[in-house]
A and B are shown apart, each in its own frame.
Chain A
């Protein structure tokens, strides 16, 4: 059994992401965590949640693309990864279309009795 320890690309089953990339991604994730905590301690009113969700989505994207190797996966895996997010967006979209309308005041043109 020849088991030369040559470097990897194209030989193994999947793409090997070099450790140096993981270190950079981890450092960025720690930095973004500090950013999101720091921003939350400043009162930006309703913008706080927008900033928090944007930063969280950046972090999630970094985890998916690099830690989970999604960047190097085939299109079918991308479909599997993003289809549930599309469904979730539909659910959230539906909730936020439905609910504000349900609690809206009656239209002005309603007949007064």
Chain B
């Protein structure tokens, strides 16, 4: 355990003007919670739109939902849940000043983010090659069900915005991970890991709702977990 904070490189909390370290820590954490509140409302608008359109065009929405590969969605759910678990473990490691462990756990978390994005890309690509993509020839065909467009428009908006959050979260965690490399964390200072993990958990939390709403409530078939 060579990379615990040792006497030579121990820095303690960064100096913040007008505040002691515990106050700076609480303020940073509360600031992240406030930001997460705005994120919930950002996605909340889309969830409200989805709920309304699903209520209005139930049959088309259920049929469109069956076009999605729930197997990939379920796999991505497990990937994100696992990454949330490793992010939570990273906070615990940081609180104990075990920088090496923080580095490893955050690297796994970011790796899970990559796996999530690759699976999402596979799904998007499958839709793209079938012409289920705004402005494709099939999409612009008047025969293409207008209510399908509502479903897939919302699907791409919601999962696309969510994927953007995954990318931003990976960046935030990479910033926290760099500080673990230089043994920056100790029980007196681990704010970047904690606020980074909070953001990452929110990204997971939103997916926890997106997965059943988009993939599961349209009576998917057991026989086609990975699409037709």
Contact = CB atoms under 8 A, between A and B. Distances in A.
Interface of A: 1, 3, 5, 8, 11-14, 16-19, 22-23, 25-26, 29-30, 33, 36-37, 40-41, 43, 48-49, 52-53, 55-56, 59-60, 63-64, 66-69, 76-77, 80-81, 83-85, 87-88, 91-92, 95-96, 99
A67 B208 CA distance: 14
A13 B25 contact: yes
Given A64-B205, A66-B88, A77-B33, 16 more contacts: A1-B10, A3-B6, A13-B26, A13-B187, A16-B95, A29-B81, A40-B216, A53-B213, A56-B209, A59-B208, A60-B208, A63-B208, A68-B201, A85-B40, A92-B47, A96-B51
Given A18-B92, A37-B216, A13 B81 contact: no
Given A5-B4, A16-B92, A67-B87, A88 B204 contact: no
Given A37-B70, A67-B84, A84-B41, A53 B212 contact: yes
Contact of B88 (A13, A60, A67): A67
Interface string B25-39: 110011001101110
A19 B89 contact: yes
The 5 closest A-B pairs by CB, nearest first: A40-B216, A52-B212, A12-B187, A88-B44, A26-B85
Contacts, number: 157
Nearest to A74: B26
B100 interface: no
B217 A40 contact: yes
Majority secondary structure, A binding face: helix
A74 B141 CA distance: 55
A23 B22 CA distance: 28
A85 to B, nearest CB: 7
5 contacts: A12-B188, A23-B85, A40-B217, A40-B219, A67-B204
